[in-house]
Amino acid sequence: MPRRDDIHKILLIGSGPIVIGQACEFDYSGAQACKVLREDGYEVVLVNSNPATIMTDPEFADRTYVEPITPAFVEQVIARERPDALLPTLGGQTGLNCAVALAEAGVLDRYGVELIGAKVEVIKKGEDRRLFAEAMARIGLETPRSGYAYSLADAEEIVASIGFPVVVRPSFTLGGAGGGIAYNVDELRDIVTHGLALSPIGEVLIEESILGWKEFEMEVMRDRNDNCVIVCSIENFDAMGVHTGDSITVAPAQTLTDREYQQMRDASIAIMREIGVETGGSNVQFAINPADGRMVVIEMNPRVSRSSALASKATGFPIAKFAAKLAVGYTLDEIPNDITKKTPACFEPSIDYTVVKVPRFAFEKFPGTDTTLTTRMKSVGEVMAIGRTFPEALGKAFRSLENGRMGLGADGKDAFDEERFDRYLVAPNEKRPLYMAEALRRGRSVEEVAALTHVDPWFVEQMAEAVRYEALLRGRALDEVSAEALREAKRYGLSDAQIAHLTGSTEAVVRARRETLDVKPTFKAVDTCAAEFAAETPYYYKTYEDEDESAPSSRRKIVILGAGPNRIGQGIEFDYCCVHAAYALSEMGFETIMVNCNPETVSTDYDTSDKLYFEPLTFEDVMDICERERPEGVLVTFGGQTPLKLAHALEDAGVPILGTKPEAIDLAEDRKRFAAVLDELGIAYPPAGTATTLDEALEVAHRIGYPLLVRPSYVLGGRGMVIAYSDEYLRRYIEEATAVSPDHPVLLDRFLEGAIEVDVDAVCDGESVYIGGVMEHIEEAGIHSGDSACCIPPFSLGTETVERIKAHARALALRLGVVGLMNVQFAVKDEQVYVLEVNPRASRTVPFVSKATGVPLAKVAARVMAGQRLAEMGLPPEDRELGRFCVKEAVMPFGRFPGTDSVLGPEMKSTGEVMGVAEDFPSAYAKSQLAIDYSLPDGGTAFISVCDRDKRAIVPVARHLHQLGFRILSTSGTARALKAAGVPVEVVLKVHEGRPNVVDAIKNGEISLVINTPFGRETRSDGYHIRTAAVQHGVTNITTLQAAQAVVQAIEAMKAGRLSVIALQDMYGDGALR
């Protein structure tokens, strides 16, 4: 059956900002869908609020709307574009929910838009646990025993029949938010109360606990002829009880007999049919009782998912691409297999390697939160590793995590909590695999470790084999280790760094020894078919075998190093830049070679570059690729910190580094030398100093004066950074929070309180500089730039100031010898412009600047790095009028980490971003807020409580809110200031003043807006309780004065009905894009 000709224009809805549980895998799937639908001649209209996505690049769709994913905005898009169909299954839960809301509101019927891929009834049957359980019963499949509760009393009644422990799952929440496992009545009350509040329909499922059972996932595809294939089976290393997004997972399933596997396959297909997924991909989760093989169905997702992205990368079978083709009428047997080109997509991939996915957590960013892994997802990213065997892939995955570790322990960095050692084994947690390996090292048996962890004994045995191999090396001199033993060690996945640690050597010596003994890696292809057919698509992984398949070409080639796992401070933005580099270099005629280990990304789509190596970004792994490929250059400045930290070692090993030299990067990072550069250029910077002891720190503090920005010398995303206002605070920070030593000095900068922060992204070719964008931050300096909102063009800075900023940026780029991208952070205080820092590499804001201005900065930079001149590119003038404001706003994950404070500071905590576009700043800001919270309060009660510093400036904000019809509630201090200014205000008690107090009011839903600015360090204070309650109850929560001012303007813009939609393609005019 060929494609449908009765539809021409298709609307796709993306997944919005990166949040925990919904990351860039939906950019990967959405970008694939856009590409394939357009190739087929359909017109594609896209809505996605996330500017850092590849899919929102204007060339990916015919009409691109970077707008909030709310029914109201999408309806505006529908009204303007009049699409024939809406494909809702590629934008995660957000896209699906929005599509359902549009269908239920009658919008789709009104405009004659057909839902393709999944109908509303199907989505509901898949998502509503009751309908799902009924459907399963109809086809004879078991689900865990359960009941629905709408109150605490219901929940207790259900537990009386099932017994503890029980799993509580709120209905219709993302990534299982609000769910948990209750072992006793107290926990039941907590989780149920919270879950009922979070569930949009006030419903929770109370379910029989199947903790400790084996968990499996099946990725299924079905076409409209009812052809069904299983793309991949995935086995969870962690037993039931840990969210699959937080579990280590393995593909293909390893411990199922064919009988069990086929039972699961039959069930998966039966579920597709029963739920009624006519076309596309679904994910089905199962649990199996390891004692007797009893199988129950956990859930199914009738859409592409994180697991389907993983399955696509694990097998080479592009699920999202095919799902889009199936949605427009193709059948599986009509679609060719992308990798073999000769065989059809209607088959089931067979893989001859082992894939391991390991989640990446960021608990260090959220002190005070529970780090136990539960049914509620907490990880912020993931890595995937491919090896021939499980131990090899596991070792590779653990050195891919970008946490400083070089494998599963035995790397010289092992440190264990001896007192609570077994608790780390029993309760699922991020470090558990390291404790398991250590327990085995200490001679504990496979049976015991398996029993304590509920991890299948086969996995534990595999770990034990690797550990036994470590023991053979441990304490032996490297030159006593034979070639055979060294090769076997590599086959078990041990890194050079681990072997160096075990043999008391260094990584470089191990590498040299391998060279001498000819223990060299081989690269094998990922080909969907276990080598049964020849592969046309070059997608590789490294292993130690006889035959190498990588077949390097003799073309001019460039290696692009990716960004590794998503984590806070390093997200999709860097992947975006790497993808653009691949596109630009390919256009210039280079062969592009991507190296990355993040399965969620577009960069690891085998379509993105000419060649893909799915490998960890360590020196060893990258060097192995460079030695094989002999590239003309390696691009290290687009993938954030991950590749940047390899620059020196690669350069020293003779690998040509493209663009800005590592020496220039050092110059910008070395504070003393950089200060000298600024002095030379006559550019101001905040006074600063360095200290290696407490006394030195106090001495510096007294010389520079408080407040001070204090941080450890090596930071990523502002880790461990604070603002100190006093000796006492500084002393506490240095004593408690950091291990200061001569090797690890502390940096102290004068903190420019109340200054406006400005970011600039620019490209330099060594001769001239192109300023991509000047971004004025909404929050004042001191809030990490990744967490603050910002606007292009500046909305309050004077022209002269902006010109001075640009001039400084130009001078710096030329002086530092930047060739490629550069980001400069400025602070403007009292008309004076200070440079805070310079990063001669791609920054987090590059995609936003590109979307806002229409100039693809990363592409421009990549071309420059490959030798082109800016003057040759015909870029639009820097000073052109944009005619609109673009606001970028950060998305915070506080809702996921109960107990942690939601206050912003110098340490970055956001997971993602959105963009709002409008003709005026307030409207653009309003859109950015709507894109995150999906609503803005338009009335009700505003609670205002600010620190003394802000008391004067809050008055106009409060007056404005009052004029907009808000009732104002304040604590005594703020109320006094407002009353004095004549703003009507009512007083509410602080938490410690008695009951009922402000937290009660928040919990009772009486407050629609919270403005609460903190001062200094006031952990567990009133402010903490207020903000935490606001986060929990989903109340708009503002923690800075500047944001408060912007939000009030935004509310006004929204109430005035000024928020319309605009397509990127209309925004740039005759502009810059090609």
Partner 1 sequence: MNARRPALLALEDGTVFEGVACGVDGEAAGEIVFNTSMAGYQEVFTDPSYAGQIVTMTMPHIGNYGVNAADMESRGVFAAGFVMRRCSETASNWRAEMTLREFFERFSVVAAEGIDTRRLTKHVREAGAMRSVLSTVDLDPASLVEKARSSPGLIGRDLVAEVAVRERFTWGAEVPPDCELPVDTGVVPVRPKHRVVAFDSGIKWNILRRLTEAGCEVIVVPPTTSAEEALALEPDGVFFANGPGDPAAVTYLYGTLREILGRVPVFGICLGHQMLSLALGCSTYKLKYGHRGGNQPVKNLLTGRVEITSQNHGFCVDFGSIGRLLPEESGGLVLDPNDLGAWVRAGVAPVVASERFGRVQLTHVNLNDMTVEGVRALDQRAFSVQYHPEAAPGPHDAQYLFGSFVRLMEGETDVFAMPGGVGKEA
529 touching partner 1, by CB under 8 A: yes
Residue labelled with tokens 């397509």: 1063
Of 530 and 980, the one with the shorter C-beta distance to partner 1 is: 530
Question: Of residues 368, 457, 552, 940, which one binds partner 1 by CB under 8 A?
Answer: 457
Binding mask 986-1005 for partner 1 (x = CB under 8 A): --------------------
- For the CA atoms of the chain, what is the radius of gyration? 28
Of 230 and 760, the one with the shorter C-beta distance to partner 1 is: 230
* Residue-by-residue DSSP string for 739-801: --BTTB-EEEEE--TTPEEEEEEEEEESS-EEEEEEEEEEEEBTB-TTTS-EEES-SSS-HHH
Of 65 and 492, the one with the shorter C-beta distance to partner 1 is: 492
Query: Between residue 629 and residue 688, which ones bind partner 1 under the rule CB under 8 A?
Result: none
**CA distance linking residue 1038 with residue 422, whole number of Å:** 42
**CA distance linking residue 387 with residue 393, whole number of Å:** 4
Spatial contact of 144 and 164, defined as CB atoms under 8 Å apart = no
CA 197 to chain CA centroid, Å, is 26
* Residue-by-residue DSSP string for 646-667: THHHHHHTTPPBPSS-HHHHHH
φ/ψ region of 176 (left if φ > 0, alpha if ψ in -120 to 50, else beta) reads left
Binding part of the chain for partner 1, among 111-119, 286-294, 616-624, 719-727 by CB under 8 A, reads: 286-294
Report the nearest approach of partner 1 to the CB of residue 391 (Å).
9
Question: Of residues 58, 180, 252, 633, which one binds partner 1 by CB under 8 A?
Answer: 252
Of 297 and 827, the one with the shorter C-beta distance to partner 1 is: 297
351 touching partner 1, by CB under 8 A: yes
Backbone dihedral angles phi then psi of residue 1060, each to the nearest 5 degrees:
-110, 180
Spatial contact of 1008 and 941, defined as CB atoms under 8 Å apart = yes
Nearest to 897 by CA among 20, 189, 195, 306: 20
Query: Between residue 542 and residue 561, which ones bind partner 1 under the rule CB under 8 A?
Result: 545-547, 549
533 touching partner 1, by CB under 8 A: yes
456 touching partner 1, by CB under 8 A: yes
Binding part of the chain for partner 1, among 68-76, 341-349, 780-788, 796-804 by CB under 8 A, reads: 341-349
Binding part of the chain for partner 1, among 461-469, 575-583, 887-895, 925-933 by CB under 8 A, reads: 461-469
506 touching partner 1, by CB under 8 A: no
Of 317 and 921, the one with the shorter C-beta distance to partner 1 is: 317
**CA distance linking residue 244 with residue 376, whole number of Å:** 9
273 touching partner 1, by CB under 8 A: yes
Spatial contact of 224 and 310, defined as CB atoms under 8 Å apart = no
Cβ partners under 8 Å of residue 692, min gap 6:
740, 741, 742, 745, 746
Question: Of residues 104, 157, 352, 767, which one binds partner 1 by CB under 8 A?
Answer: 352
Buried b / exposed e over 375-392, threshold 16 CB at 10 Å, is: bbbbbbbbbbbbbbbbbb
Of 549 and 920, the one with the shorter C-beta distance to partner 1 is: 549
Of 258 and 1070, the one with the shorter C-beta distance to partner 1 is: 258
Binding mask 835-874 for partner 1 (x = CB under 8 A): ----------------------------------------
Neighbour tally for 344: CB within 10 Å? 13
**CA distance linking residue 316 with residue 345, whole number of Å:** 11
265 touching partner 1, by CB under 8 A: yes
User: Which residues are 482's β-sheet partners?
Assistant: none
**Intra-chain end-to-end CA distance of the chain, in Å:** 36
388 touching partner 1, by CB under 8 A: yes
291 touching partner 1, by CB under 8 A: yes
Report the nearest approach of partner 1 to the CB of residue 162 (Å).
24
Spatial contact of 853 and 773, defined as CB atoms under 8 Å apart = yes
Structure letter (DSSP) for residue 337? P
Report the nearest approach of partner 1 to the CB of residue 233 (Å).
8
Binding part of the chain for partner 1, among 420-428, 432-440, 454-462, 740-748 by CB under 8 A, reads: 454-462
**CA distance linking residue 1012 with residue 974, whole number of Å:** 10
Report the nearest approach of partner 1 to the CB of residue 451 (Å).
13
Cβ partners under 8 Å of residue 862, min gap 6:
580, 581, 584, 585, 635, 638, 820
Report the nearest approach of partner 1 to the CB of residue 291 (Å).
6
Binding part of the chain for partner 1, among 79-87, 344-352, 752-760, 767-775 by CB under 8 A, reads: 344-352
Spatial contact of 688 and 704, defined as CB atoms under 8 Å apart = yes
Question: Of residues 185, 201, 483, 531, which one binds partner 1 by CB under 8 A?
Answer: 531
Spatial contact of 319 and 128, defined as CB atoms under 8 Å apart = no
Question: Of residues 109, 226, 679, 803, which one binds partner 1 by CB under 8 A?
Answer: 226
Report the nearest approach of partner 1 to the CB of residue 289 (Å).
8
What are the strands, taking DSSP E only, across 620-732? Answer: 633-635, 688-691, 708-712, 722-724
Question: Of residues 213, 237, 317, 353, which one binds partner 1 by CB under 8 A?
Answer: 353
Report the nearest approach of partner 1 to the CB of residue 441 (Å).
16
User: Which residues are 969's β-sheet partners?
Assistant: 943, 986
Report the nearest approach of partner 1 to the CB of residue 223 (Å).
9
Number of residues that bind partner 1 (CB under 8 A): 58
Query: Between residue 1009 and residue 1048, which ones bind partner 1 under the rule CB under 8 A?
Result: none
**CA distance linking residue 497 with residue 623, whole number of Å:** 14
Report the nearest approach of partner 1 to the CB of residue 151 (Å).
40
293 touching partner 1, by CB under 8 A: yes
Binding part of the chain for partner 1, among 247-255, 572-580, 648-656, 918-926 by CB under 8 A, reads: 247-255
346 touching partner 1, by CB under 8 A: yes
Question: Of residues 43, 154, 187, 348, which one binds partner 1 by CB under 8 A?
Answer: 348
257 touching partner 1, by CB under 8 A: yes
Residue labelled with tokens 């700043």: 921
Prior bond of 538 cis (ω within 30°): no
Report the nearest approach of partner 1 to the CB of residue 295 (Å).
12
What are the strands, taking DSSP E only, across 565-648? Answer: 591-596, 611-614, 633-635
259 touching partner 1, by CB under 8 A: yes
Angle between helices 92-104 and 120-127 (to 10 degrees): 130
Question: Of residues 179, 302, 349, 912, which one binds partner 1 by CB under 8 A?
Answer: 349
229 touching partner 1, by CB under 8 A: yes
Of 121 and 532, the one with the shorter C-beta distance to partner 1 is: 532
Binding part of the chain for partner 1, among 150-158, 349-357, 650-658, 899-907 by CB under 8 A, reads: 349-357
Question: Of residues 151, 161, 184, 350, which one binds partner 1 by CB under 8 A?
Answer: 350
Query: Between residue 311 and residue 340, which ones bind partner 1 under the rule CB under 8 A?
Result: 332-333
Question: Of residues 422, 479, 532, 727, which one binds partner 1 by CB under 8 A?
Answer: 532
Nearest to 606 by CA among 522, 527, 523: 527
**CA distance linking residue 621 with residue 395, whole number of Å:** 12
Report the nearest approach of partner 1 to the CB of residue 401 (Å).
23
524 touching partner 1, by CB under 8 A: yes
Q: Using CB under 8 A as the criterion, which residues of the chain lie in contact with partner 1 when the complex forms? A: 225-227, 229-230, 233, 252-259, 261-262, 265-266, 273, 290-293, 332-333, 342-344, 346-354, 388-390, 446, 456-458, 461, 465, 468, 524, 529-534, 545-547, 549
